Structure 1
Amino acid sequence: MSGIAGLYHTDGRPADRHVLRRLLDAQSHRGPDGEGRWDGSSIALGHLALDTTPEARREDQPLTHSGDDLVLTADARIDNRDELTSRLKRGRDDGPPATDAELILRAYRRWGDESPEHLRGAFAFAIWDASRNRLFCARDRMGLRPLHYCWSEPHFVFGSEINAVLAHPAVSREINETRVADFLARIHLSKEYTFYEDISRLPPGHHAVINRAGMHTSAYWTLTLPDERKLGSDEAYGEAFREVFAGAIKDRLRANGDAGTFLSGGLDSSSVTAMAHKISSGPLHTFSVTHEQIPEVDESAYIRAVLDRGDYRPHLVAGGNHDLLADFPGHLASQQKAPLAHTPSLMQLLHEAVHDAGLNVVLDGHGGDEVTSHGHGYPRELARNRRWGALIQDLRGSLQNKDPSWPGAFAAYWLRYGRLPNRIGTGLLRLLQSVGLSVGKREPPRLISADLARRTQMADRRRRHRRQAPAAAPTERQCHFRQVSGTMQPGALEELNQMASLRSVEPRFPFWDPRVVEFCLSLPSDVKRTRGIGRQILRSGLRTVLPERIRARTDKSEFRPSVIQALTRSSLDVQTVIEGMEDALAPYVDMNVARSTTDRFAQDPSGASPADVVSVLQLLRLGFFRIKSRNPKDYQEPQTAS
């Protein structure tokens, strides 16, 4: 994992190498292993190196080809190296294996704009093509590596991080109110927008050409819902998944030294860890957070269940050793956004542990819920098909001793999809809700101000979000597809990438391998969920790999108690901090709702509803971001790894 940056003037004016220097300095934490710069007449490219593969130690970027007619800067890990090497081999080659950057450049030389279609892995790159007087940029299929840019004709500026683009003197810090409104409304409708009006992201699976004719962006790959896979038995499905998943893990274990895994004790991280251990030749480093002071959150018993079955080198991090409020501003120095993560400082503890152990690669189970699917759309599919007996079995399995209760949930489905006229069913549903029968989730506080909602046409945006939401899909397969292809996923992956880069660590995500994603999307609904229990493909596919205690888990630790502890044990007071943010929040937030929500939390933190806890975190994240963005020198960038 590395950092890339560049600037290009399509009108031919000279590129300022001093400005390129500023772009690189703004994301210097991405390049502990070296830096390179190249400039032509109207183009300047830069590279910051973090050597996370064996071949990366021989890379020298920006990489030139054939007398500088092609110049590449890339943040890339290419997984189909053997295939590309065979297809792109030029005559006798007795030298060392080609680096990933060399393979990308050779692929472009062979296939031009179609070259990204032939690459498998995680990448974001830019190629200056002097013979055609243009810049070509591309990003991997799932958005595993970031690429942000500002296009203000005739100027194009890009960087791995928003910080780099903001370092250009011509780039405005004007806030994108639509993105702020969506954040407050808890919706996400674009893979391109950021919190800054002038800055966009190149969407996953896209490439862009920038030349004198302007900027043209197009998709070279789009995730589609594959045909349903028919294999005949649970054992056959499990064996096929295990093969695909093992391939994704193996590709991500290619490291410059040892690789580790995050191990939380949940099904996803345990699956990654157990499979990585099975493939690895030596002891596997694991990194886990423990919460000994909060028993209902602590996963130590599940972590031990994995560790007891193999040769591991465990690293345990105390979950209480961070100050969430005091640490927030430092994280914004890299993110330049209101972060999606509830507790970024806790993730930073894990990344520090990875770095302190001498590693720079860690496999992360992020995405397992979405990719292997809980089957949340299956009950709706059963109800639409009026399979009431199967629906009762499913709801009893998934909602036993939970709120809403399974009878309440069944009543809601029956009233909506039964044979009653829609008007009568809706009226009865409201009647049941009015007398206290729990049939759905309570509405969270609406933080967005009326003015901002009106300016950003929030009512229309909410309707659009509801139409696109997984919950609106008629079948489980379509619901699953919407979860995986949703607009929020690239932003989450970028955020995890940037948090890890502050400690010179590259996170890798096996569940987001396109092969794994497409395989899981092809599964029939009843293969993914049985009697209300989802992610069956993980449970059956890794039956011989996972401890039974993990494989049979249907629960998950709730985030709320640990977040409440982090907020209440901070050196800062939540209510005082949010009061101090009012000037920054007022243009966007209904401050009466913000104050009442914060008051409820302050009066009884341990009894706060999940919706109130999330709302308090939203206020803090947005408030810290706005203070930082208005006064960029108020906070220093977090200390990077030495």
Structure 2
Amino acid sequence: MSGICGYFRQDGRHIEEQVFADMLFLLERQGPDDQAYWQNGSVALGHTLLKTTRESEHEAQPSTLDGKTWLTADARIDGRVELIAKLHSKDVTVSQSVTDDHLILHAYAVWGADCLEHLIGDFAFILWDEKQKQLFCATDHMGVSPLYSAQVRGGFLVSNNLTAIRAHPQISNVLNEQAIGDYLMFRLNFTPDSTSFRDIKKLPAGHSIIVNQDTMRMQQYWSVPKPDYKRRTQAQYLEEFGSLFKQSVADRMRTDSIGTHLSGGMDSTSITAMLAELRNEGGANDVNAYTHAPPIGRPNLEQPYAEAIAQKLNIPLRVFNGKDRVLANDIDGIADLPPEPSFAQRESPRFKIFADSASKSSSF
């Protein structure tokens, strides 16, 4: 995902340029395709670009439509056809190839903070509104794209990378004992707005935050809706699910080459089958599947099923085995260190799968 960061001096002073440069440096790994920043006295936004869609080939962030509202975003906006139609109904003309960051800017220009009622997908963004003199930040409904923040003397820091927040000298290394305890006992953090560090907060899923010179206000814009049960036939349920499933997969097919994990189980098999169907309809030039074989001595339950499915769907399959673990010498400096503990093992096959998939999808 692309790297984003923002620094707002609420006391009106100019930001410390070296601190902001350090934040951007720690985001370079996330955005190897381009790095840029925008600064106006007491506020600065930074962006390191990772191109993941055809439209992102034309992104130039931080971005603006009018020189007054600036945005840095890590976003894949889904339901683009419907959103563009809504904008057209408001006399806003945008093309079908509009970049995701410009979609967010257009939505904000029309609906203000209520734009979140019209955005779906995986996104985290930081927006500076010069007219209101405030930051407006949000993360998506499920919190797929994270957003971290911290209050420092006279200022506010925000980024989708926890390590970038720690670049500020006022951010201590003091741990959050409650979060560490939750991790050790339950493998998860029961407090959605906390992190492993006392000074750094995480924006919960489906929340936004507005920061101006005097206040900082967080609010929830979405929660899981109560089910609205309707009497339907089995055929109607199947038809609706099939339509939604196809659209959700299609929304993620915005490159000419697609990589997918294929374990041989029901979930990944269903997704891979839909990718093959959409490929045959012209949604992508090719689809590549990957599966992970365990080290020798452990039962290999997935590979035979994955191979049978790939053959049936006429999809190339690469198998990566887990016999070689990546040890400490694979960690290349502080930017490669995970900011918080995780039970996920650092194995070379996982990174090789990502690297191979990225190399095949490098051209849009």
TM over 0.5: yes
SS at match of 1:4: strand
Q: 1:265 to 1:48 in 2, by over 3 A?
A: same
One-letter amino acid of the counterpart of residue 221, structure 2: Y
Q: 1:313 to 1:266 in 2, by over 3 A?
A: same
Q: How does 1:241-280 map to 2 (within 5 A)?
A: 241-255=241-255, 257-280=256-279
* Contact 2:30 2:48 survives alignment (8 Å): yes
Q: 1:139 to 1:94 in 2, by over 3 A?
A: closer
Q: How does 1:34-113 map to 2 (within 5 A)?
A: 34-66=34-66, 68-89=67-88, 97-113=97-113
Q: How does 1:167-178 map to 2 (within 5 A)?
A: 167-178=167-178
Q: 1:351 to 1:99 in 2, by over 3 A?
A: same
* Contact 1:331 1:344 survives alignment (8 Å): no
Q: Where does residue 424 of structure 1 map in the other structure?
A: none
Residues 363-407 of structure 1, C-alpha deviations (whole Å, 9 max, x = no match): xxxxxxxxxxxxxxxxxxxxxxxxxxxxxxxxxxxxxxxxxxxxx
Q: How does 1:390-401 map to 2 (within 5 A)?
A: none
> 1:288 deviation in Å?
1.2
> 1:291 deviation in Å?
3.2
Q: 1:87 to 1:44 in 2, by over 3 A?
A: same
4+ residue segments displaced more than 6 Å: 328-332
Q: Where does residue 468 of structure 1 map in the other structure?
A: none
Q: How does 1:368-379 map to 2 (within 5 A)?
A: none
CA distance in 2, matches of 1:101, 1:266: 35
Q: Where does residue 151 of structure 2 map in the other structure?
A: 151
2:294 maps to 1:291: yes
Larger relative contact order (Cα-Cα within 8 Å, sequence gap ≥ 6):
1
SS at match of 1:32: coil
Greater share of strand: 2
* Contact 1:7 1:156 survives alignment (8 Å): yes
CA distance in 1, matches of 2:231, 2:347: 42
* Contact 2:143 2:205 survives alignment (8 Å): yes
Residues 114-147 of structure 1, C-alpha deviations (whole Å, 9 max, x = no match): 1111111111101111111111101110112111
One-letter amino acid of the counterpart of residue 16, structure 2: D
SS at match of 2:227: coil
One-letter amino acid of the counterpart of residue 343, structure 2: L
Q: 1:140 to 1:278 in 2, by over 3 A?
A: same
CA distance in 2, matches of 1:287, 1:302: 12
* Contact 1:259 1:360 survives alignment (8 Å): no
Q: How does 1:484-503 map to 2 (within 5 A)?
A: none
> 1:249 deviation in Å?
0.5
Q: Where does residue 551 of structure 1 map in the other structure?
A: none
Q: Where does residue 359 of structure 1 map in the other structure?
A: 361
One-letter amino acid of the counterpart of residue 150, structure 2: C
Q: How does 1:223-622 map to 2 (within 5 A)?
A: 223-233=224-234, 235-255=235-255, 257-281=256-280, 282-291=285-294, 293-294=296-297, 296-323=299-326, 333-343=336-346, 345-355=348-358, 357-359=359-361
SS at match of 1:280: helix
* Contact 1:37 1:62 survives alignment (8 Å): yes
* Contact 2:326 2:346 survives alignment (8 Å): no
> 1:237 deviation in Å?
2.9
| Structure 2: unaligned runs, 5 residues or longer | none
* Contact 1:85 1:98 survives alignment (8 Å): no
Q: 1:80 to 1:122 in 2, by over 3 A?
A: same
One-letter amino acid of the counterpart of residue 358, structure 1: K
CA distance in 1, matches of 2:245, 2:213: 44
CA distance in 2, matches of 1:94, 1:152: 39
| Structure 1: unaligned runs, 5 residues or longer | 362-642
CA distance in 1, matches of 2:327, 2:226: 40
CA distance in 1, matches of 2:127, 2:295: 50
For the pair shown, the structure with the greater C-alpha radius of gyration is 1
CA distance in 2, matches of 1:40, 1:141: 30
* Contact 2:29 2:335 survives alignment (8 Å): no
* Contact 1:261 1:285 survives alignment (8 Å): yes
SS at match of 2:316: strand
* Contact 2:76 2:122 survives alignment (8 Å): yes
Q: Where does residue 32 of structure 1 map in the other structure?
A: 32
* Contact 1:315 1:353 survives alignment (8 Å): no
CA distance in 1, matches of 2:204, 2:216: 14
> 1:290 deviation in Å?
1.8
Q: 1:153 to 1:109 in 2, by over 3 A?
A: farther
Q: 1:249 to 1:141 in 2, by over 3 A?
A: same
Q: 1:238 to 1:331 in 2, by over 3 A?
A: farther
Residues 324-368 of structure 1, C-alpha deviations (whole Å, 9 max, x = no match): 67768989944211113245554223223323x42269xxxxxxx
CA distance in 2, matches of 1:132, 1:69: 10
* Contact 1:69 1:129 survives alignment (8 Å): yes
Residues 581-629 of structure 1, C-alpha deviations (whole Å, 9 max, x = no match): xxxxxxxxxxxxxxxxxxxxxxxxxxxxxxxxxxxxxxxxxxxxxxxxx
CA distance in 2, matches of 1:91, 1:304: 51
CA distance in 2, matches of 1:269, 1:92: 39
Superposition CA RMSD, Å? 2.4
* Contact 2:326 2:347 survives alignment (8 Å): no
Q: Where does residue 20 of structure 1 map in the other structure?
A: 20
CA distance in 2, matches of 1:37, 1:85: 28
CA distance in 1, matches of 2:53, 2:242: 25
> 1:102 deviation in Å?
0.9
Q: 1:153 to 1:344 in 2, by over 3 A?
A: farther
CA distance in 2, matches of 1:327, 1:94: 45
Q: Where does residue 197 of structure 1 map in the other structure?
A: 198
